[in-house]
């Protein structure tokens, strides 16, 4: 039997470890905001930040990849090669450990989000190629008629590959020796990076919705493809709203501004379908995947509103470089991506007929509320920091003084961050135990 269950569970269990360890470093970083001397020598912000960001991004990718390995055989009958998937997993773990080792031993040399020494890009690229081969050989010849989630996964996988090549252009003097070019290309590739993981995650959400509702029309409709193409256009061109302040051709920023505003259509559509989806999801709210998907809807709404606001140049001039950007980054990666991926993990548990104990279900449901309420406080605190910083910068307040003024909000940010950590632990610990205990099916079913 061509079952990808075991390799999926390996990816998902490592994803959970990456998430929990990653948030732990985030909390350390949060402490350093209010206690500058906290672990300054041994685990300073220089290490804590890249450890945090790299590990949580690893969570997003490996939870998405694990899911795709699981869903592909369900969609197409079989995965091209299980062996290749194992090879992918092994190389992924080795590369990941090498990156962590570099961070712990203060070996940097890369760029934002990829701060490790550049030679590690080679194994990373190879890991991705293994995944690409498996994916494209599995869907070969079936792409055109495929439902939306296959298009999204295809886009996400291709764009991530492109991103990896593009972020390393700085190693060529033509890019390296011109800061305007370097920074612009860097922001551009970050746009593709975030866009690519969003495509993987949103595709996953569409797949789960289709399977739970039993309705295949929606994932093949023209309307859903219209929004996919709109999303793709944004992925390609809207990153320019990060560089309004960079002296590159104004054209790039103007295009980005126009394209970013098309997100209003997406926002409109969300509000339009809101009531319907609330009604539908109410019937299934007892199901954990639906519960997590519904909360991601709320976070899409909040973060998209924020994103559209800060894409307006007149607003961006003030909010740029403040914690509002961090609010947006973490609001989306936690509220949207993490919620959808948790829904996917619970969906897989359900599909495998793994029954969770009553106490586990109880803890998870409580954890759900702890995360969402903490995240709201976390998000609001960061926005408050951003607003104060923007207005104080305007008055010319010096940096140290500004940090003092932000202190109460940094405190609430930290406390809420600890809440996010505890809430996610309440959800992830039972999940992890179930993945590990049920790695090998107890009875092999014939279906």
Partner 1 sequence: MNRLIVFIILILLFLSFTAYVYTLGTEGPNVKMSDESIRGKLLFQKYNCTACHQIYGLGGYLGPDLTTEISQPGKGEAYAAALLKNGSVRMPNFHLSETEIKELVEFLKYVDATAITYKNKGTSPIMNQ
Footprint on this chain of ligand HEM (rule: CB under 6 A): 23, 26-27, 29-30, 49, 52-53, 56, 325-326, 329-330, 333-334, 338, 414, 417, 420-421
Least Cβ distance, residue 328 to ligand HEM (angstroms): 7
Query: Within 13 Å, how many C-alpha atoms sit on residue 327's CB side?
Result: 30
Site for partner 1 in 130-149 (CB under 8 A): 144
Site for ligand HEC in 395-414 (CB under 6 A): 399-400
Q: What is the 3-state secondary structure (H, E, C) of the chain?
A: CCCCHHHHHHHHHHHHHHHHHHHHHHHHHHHHHHCCCCCCCCCCHHHHHHHHHHHHHHHHHHHHHHHHHHHHHHHHCCCCCHHHHHHHHHHHHHHHHHHHHHHHCCCCCCECCECCCHHHHHHHHHHHHHHHHHHHHHHCCCCCCCCHHHHHHHHHHHHHHHHHHHHHHHHCHHHHCCHHHHHHHHHHHHHHHHHHHHHHHHHHHHHHHHHHHCCCCHHHCHHHHHHHHHHHHHHHHHHHHHCCCCCCCHHHHHHHHHHHHCHHHHHHHHHHHHHHHHHHHHHHCCCHHHHHHHHHHHHHHHHHHHHHHHHCHHHHHHHCCCHHHHHHHHHHHHHHHHHHHHHHHHHHHHHCCCCCCHHHHHHHHHHHHHHHHHHHHHHHHHHHHHHHHHHHHHHCCCHHHHHHHHHHHHHHHHHHHHHHHHHHHHHHHHHHHHHHHCCCCCCCCCC
Least Cβ distance, residue 31 to ligand HEM (angstroms): 8
Site for partner 1 in 148-167 (CB under 8 A): 151
Q: Is 184 in the site for partner 1 (CB under 8 A)?
A: yes
Neighbours of 34 (CB within 10 A): 15
Query: CA quadruple 158, 161, 167, 170: dihedral positive or negative?
Result: negative
The nearer residue to ligand HEM, 147 or 331, going by C-beta atoms, is 331
26 binds, among partner 1, ligand HEC, ligand HEM, none (CB under 5 to 8 A by kind): ligand HEM
The nearer residue to ligand HEM, 150 or 205, going by C-beta atoms, is 205
Residue in 6, 81, 305, 393 binding partner 1, rule: CB under 8 A? 393
The nearer residue to partner 1, 66 or 195, going by C-beta atoms, is 195
Residue in 45, 161, 257, 429 binding ligand HEC, rule: CB under 6 A? 45
Residue in 44, 117, 118, 313 binding ligand HEC, rule: CB under 6 A? 44
Q: Is 109 in the site for partner 1 (CB under 8 A)?
A: yes
The nearer residue to ligand HEM, 66 or 73, going by C-beta atoms, is 66
Judged by CB under 6 A, the stretch of 16-24, 40-48, 213-221, 335-343 that binds ligand HEC is: 40-48
243 binds, among partner 1, ligand HEM, ligand HEC, none (CB under 5 to 8 A by kind): partner 1
Judged by CB under 8 A, the stretch of 31-39, 55-63, 271-279, 436-444 that binds partner 1 is: 31-39
Neighbours of 60 (CB within 10 A): 23
Q: Is 326 in the site for partner 1 (CB under 8 A)?
A: yes
The nearer residue to partner 1, 221 or 437, going by C-beta atoms, is 221
Q: Is 252 in the site for partner 1 (CB under 8 A)?
A: yes
The nearer residue to ligand HEC, 43 or 298, going by C-beta atoms, is 43
Q: Which two tokens stand for residue 203?
A: 């595709």
The nearer residue to partner 1, 164 or 428, going by C-beta atoms, is 164
Q: Is 177 in the site for partner 1 (CB under 8 A)?
A: yes
Least Cβ distance, residue 48 to ligand HEC (angstroms): 9
Count the site residues for ligand HEC by CB under 6 A: 5
Q: How far apart, in whole angstroms, are the C-alpha atoms of residue 235 and residue 150?
A: 17
Where do contacts with partner 1 occur on this chain (CB under 8 A)? Answer: 32-33, 36-37, 40-41, 44-46, 49-50, 108-112, 115, 144, 151, 169, 175-181, 183-188, 225, 229, 232-233, 236-237, 242-243, 245-249, 251-252, 255, 317-318, 320-323, 325-326, 390, 393-396, 398-399
Where do contacts with ligand HEC occur on this chain (CB under 6 A)? Answer: 44-46, 399-400
């Amino acid at each position: 039997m061509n079952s990808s269950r075991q390799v999926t569970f390996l990816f998902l269990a490592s994803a959970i470890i990456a998430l929990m360890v990653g948030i732990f470093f985030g909390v350390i970083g949060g402490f350093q905001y209010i206690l500058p001397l906290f672990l300054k020598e041994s685990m300073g912000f220089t290490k804590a930040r890249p450890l945090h960001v790299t590990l949580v991004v690893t969570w997003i990718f490996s939870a998405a990849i694990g899911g795709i390995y699981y869903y592909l055989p369900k969609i197409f009958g079989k995965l091209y090669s299980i062996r290749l998937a194992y090879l992918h997993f092994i190389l992924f773990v080795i590369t990941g450990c090498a990156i962590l080792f570099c961070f712990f031993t203060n070996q940097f040399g890369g760029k934002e989000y990829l701060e490790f020494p550049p030679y590690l890009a080679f194994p990373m690229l190879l890991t991705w190629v293994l995944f690409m081969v498996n994916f494209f050989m599995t869907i070969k010849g079936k792409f055109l008629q495929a439902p939306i989630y296959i298009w999204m996964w295809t886009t996400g996988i291709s764009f991530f590959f492109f991103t990896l090549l593009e972020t390393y252009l700085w190693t060529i003097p033509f890019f390296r020796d011109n800061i305007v070019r370097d920074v612009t290309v860097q922001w551009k590739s970050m746009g593709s990076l975030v866009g690519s993981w969003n495509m993987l995650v949103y595709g996953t959400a569409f797949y789960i919705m289709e399977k739970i509702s039993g309705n295949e029309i929606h994932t093949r409709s023209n309307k859903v493809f219209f929004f996919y193409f709109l999303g793709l256009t944004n992925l390609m061109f809207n990153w320019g709203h990060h560089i309004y302040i960079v002296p590159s051709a104004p054209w790039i920023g103007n295009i980005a501004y126009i394209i970013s505003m098309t997100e209003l259509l997406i926002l409109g559509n969300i509000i339009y379908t809101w009531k319907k989806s609330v009604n539908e999801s109410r019937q299934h709210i007892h199901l954990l995947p639906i519960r997590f998907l519904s909360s991601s809807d709320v976070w899409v709404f909040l973060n998209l509103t924020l994103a559209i606001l800060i894409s307006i140049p007149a607003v961006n001039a003030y909010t740029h470089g403040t914690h509002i950007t961090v609010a947006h980054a973490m609001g989306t990666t936690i509220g949207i991506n993490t919620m959808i991926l948790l829904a996917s993990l619970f969906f897989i548990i359900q599909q495998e007929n793994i029954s969770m104990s009553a106490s586990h279900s109880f803890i998870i449901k409580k954890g759900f509320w702890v995360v969402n309420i903490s995240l709201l406080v976390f998000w609001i605190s960061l926005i408050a920091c951003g607003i104060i910083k923007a207005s104080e910068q305007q008055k010319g307040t010096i940096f140290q003084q500004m940090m003092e003024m932000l202190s109460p909000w940094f405190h609430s940010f930290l406390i809420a961050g600890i809440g996010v950590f505890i809430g996610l632990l309440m959800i992830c610990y039972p999940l992890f135990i179930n993945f590990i205990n049920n790695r090998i099916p107890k009875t092999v079913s014939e279906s």
